[in-house]
Amino acid sequence: MGEHGGSHGGGLVRAFRQKAGLTQRQLAQVAGVSVGVVRDLEQGRTARLHTESVRRLASALRLDRQQARELSLAARVPADGAAARVQTGELRISVLGPVAAWRHGAPVALGPPMQRAVLGLLAVYTGTGLSRSVVTDALWGEDPPMTAASMLLSYISRLRRLLGPGGPVRTTGNGYRLEPAACELDLLIFGGLVRHAQKAQAAGELATACQAYADAIALWRGDPLADCDILQGHPAVVRLSQQKADAVTGYADAAIAARCPDRILPHLRELTDREPLNERAHALLMIALAGSGQQATALGVFDQMQRRLDNELGIRPGPELTAAQVQVLSQQIPVGPATASAAAAAARPRPAARHFPGQLPCAVAHFTGRTVELAALNTALDQAAGRTIVISAIAGTAGVGKTALAIQWAHQVTGHFPDGQLYVNLRGYDPDQPMPAADALARFLRALGVPGQDIPAEEDERAARYRSLLVGKRVLVMLDNAGSAEQVRPLLPGTPACTVMVTSRDALAGLVARDGATRLELDLLPLEEAVDLLRTLIGARVDAAPDAAAELAAQCCRLPLALRVAAELATSRPGVPLTQLTRELADLHKRLDLLAAGGDRRAAVRAVFSWSYQHLGADAARGFRLLGLHPGPDFEPYAAAVVTGTTAEHARRVLGELSRAHLIAEHVPGRYAFHDLLRAYAAEQARHTDSDAARREATGRVLDHYLHTAARAARLLNPAKEPVVLAPPRPGAAP
């Protein structure tokens, strides 16, 4: 969102109104709307413009046809590009980041990567269309499979079904195209806003230009078509990245001329990090830094660039970079009003350079699915403004992909946090000792530029120093694998501009109740997404044996960790059909052995489960083991009490602890279940820990319980029928 707030449409209305020399009241009178409507629109309290309102405003502002179209396009989307907030019945497609679509404001699961790539490719060539041969070449190169034509037809058919009747995917004589009138496409809105900014810039209307550039750049959610690896080298996708770079440099020219260089610094830093040899971007960064009163930092940029050009290309800085150095050295760069005090203080001793930590781990390769969860996280981020702090606590069972989802999302939203990203693995459920909050604070303080000798000794003092350093900054703090709310609380910043992301196997109810956290419960992958992940990791063998692939996904309980280990097992045995692999995995206990990831304790399914099990109390651990022997698909507290030989009240407490640890799930109210891999692990632990007699007693009690309960129910339902005579139930198995 631009710094003045409002939607894209509101920003354009304000810009056109100012150009026409009208007040809000005058525009309202001419357009035949209330002044409150104009005010709410420009200030962002009205998210969208009605079609009739667009027509009236365009007429009142005397817009030409192109300007009216730009206003109509911009009126359809919120300023920050947060598509999850759209609440209309229209279809919106986004390619300025991972390929995504929304219908009726809800995300659409677009299917496997190749299918998303087809939609993304058509979107990039909106209106013109592509022949089938061109699409085939883009997807498979010079060696397409024999089934390429039928696969492409299948992708198109599924996309039409997903995008709804009357959707934008159309068939041409020899190919397909995306009809722009049938959807909202962020790429078209971006282009319209950039053209408007360029016109305003050429006319000397710098404030209007800056606002339009800011709104255009805010539409980007990452690299174009970021989740379509197959298209990353495609010329059209490369051109999209260049268009963003051009928009950033155009915005920089306008912001520097308007004496508000602070607005462009985060975008220029991102561009120069991405394009370390882009001399024009570095020259603009130097001028913007100097205009913000940071002359020393600006000269440091030149020195780094000079060494980089010499080491990597064997050349000297070009004329634009050299001219920027001369301007900085001669102090010929105008300083904006907001930064004049900083420039005046330049002669005084300067504090240490600001640190912009970028500690996020690499995103998981071939991340697949989780569209709904990513949209939910975007919504949580959108709602952060005005609250002391927002924490998204992602909870879920071991191996469900909490960390992978958190890191994937964090990389998509780094643009929201120009002051950096902090990351720590708190080891709450690792085999190692959990990390004390004091140690995590020390790491963060060092990352924020505090020398080791200046880090306070006490945890409270470290937390106070940490919060002070984050005041006024926009930083993402990722706390991975937290063991408890108490471990997390000292690491919470005290500024509303920062967001904290917590992952944990615990539900972290205390963070929700006391600290206002937004909790996202992460479930197993849907079957379609699980098969998509196998397809991405294994390849064509999945399409060659779709039933076996679905069976393999089910055997892995749709756990991302287990799916990745199984995929590695399959790729290491290329000559073994998937059907044979599923036969080998049919035995649950052998399945845990096969999913051992070569002994890697952080990837082996059995080892990862053990970290949760070892954190249970003695009663819950015993309940976990014995419930693994339960013969049915699920159980309720009375059956759990019989299995464990305790009371129903005690069993409820045990079930609650196991549920909070995500070792069982309450799949319907009052009934609990394991997934197959956890059931196998629980039964395995019972064999290793509990005696044969204890296991036989537990199984016998629950069978007696069900037998006598069924017999009593039969007598109630059919009292005239002669009852079956049973031996008395064993102690603790009363019906």
Query: What DSSP assignment string belongs to 562-615?
Result: HHHHHHHHHHT-TTS-HHHHHHHTTSHHHHHHHTSGGG-TTT-HHHHHHHHHTT
Query: What mean pLDDT is predicted for residues 608-623?
Result: 78
Mean pLDDT, the chain, integer: 79
Nearest to 185 by CA among 243, 101, 85: 101
Query: What mean pLDDT is predicted for residues 463-469?
Result: 89
Strands 130-131 vs 175-178: parallel, antiparallel or unpaired: antiparallel
Confidence check: pLDDT of 43 > 90: no
Task: Give 377: exposed, middle or buried? Use CB within 10 Å, 0-12, 13-18, 19+.
Answer: buried
| Residues paired with 91 in a beta bridge | 103
Percent of the chain scored above 90 by pLDDT? 10
Question: What is the rounded (10 degree) CA torsion for 473, 479, 485, 489?
Answer: -30
The DSSP result for 428-457, as a single string, is TTSSSPPPPHHHHHHHHHHHTT--GGGS-S
Task: Give the pLDDT score at 36.
Answer: 63
The DSSP result for 308-352, as a single string, is HHHHHH-----HHHHHHHHHHHTT-SPPPGGGHHHHHGGGSPPPP
With contact defined as beta carbons under 8 Å apart, do 528 and 109 qualify?
yes
Percent of the chain scored above 70 by pLDDT? 79
Write the CB contacts of 583 (distance below 8 Å, at least 6 apart in sequence).
none
Per the model's pLDDT, the better-predicted residue between 41 and 637 turns out to be: 637
Query: What mean pLDDT is predicted for residues 590-617?
Result: 61
Query: What mean pLDDT is predicted for residues 35-58?
Result: 62
Q: For the chain, give the longest Cα–Cα distance.
A: 107
**Token pair for residue 592?**
């845990």
Task: Give the pLDDT score at 82.
Answer: 36
The DSSP result for 159-219, as a single string, is HHHHH-TT-SEEE-SSEEEE-GGGSEEHHHHHHHHHHHHHHHHHTT-HHHHHHHHHHHHHT
Per the model's pLDDT, the better-predicted residue between 628 and 494 turns out to be: 628
**55-58: long-range pairs with CB below 8 Å, 24+:** 56/31, 56/32, 57/13, 57/16, 57/27, 57/31, 57/33
Task: Give the pLDDT score at 344.
Answer: 36
Task: Give the pLDDT score at 49.
Answer: 54
Task: Give the pLDDT score at 119.
Answer: 93
Query: What mean pLDDT is predicted for residues 424-449?
Result: 82
Task: Give the pLDDT score at 724.
Answer: 80
Write the CB contacts of 395 (distance below 8 Å, at least 6 apart in sequence).
402, 503, 504, 505, 506, 507, 508, 519, 520, 521, 522, 662
Three-state secondary structure string covering 379-403? HHHHCCCCCCCCEEEEECCCCCCHH
Lowest mean pLDDT among 61-65, 123-127, 347-351: 347-351
In which band, very low, low, confident or very high, does the pLDDT at 251 lie, cut at 50, 70 and 90?
very high
Confidence check: pLDDT of 219 > 80: yes
- Residues 543-585 pLDDT 10s: 888 888 898 888 777 877 777 777 777 777 777 788 888 887 7
Query: What mean pLDDT is predicted for residues 710-732?
Result: 84
Confidence check: pLDDT of 289 > 50: yes
Confidence check: pLDDT of 281 > 80: yes
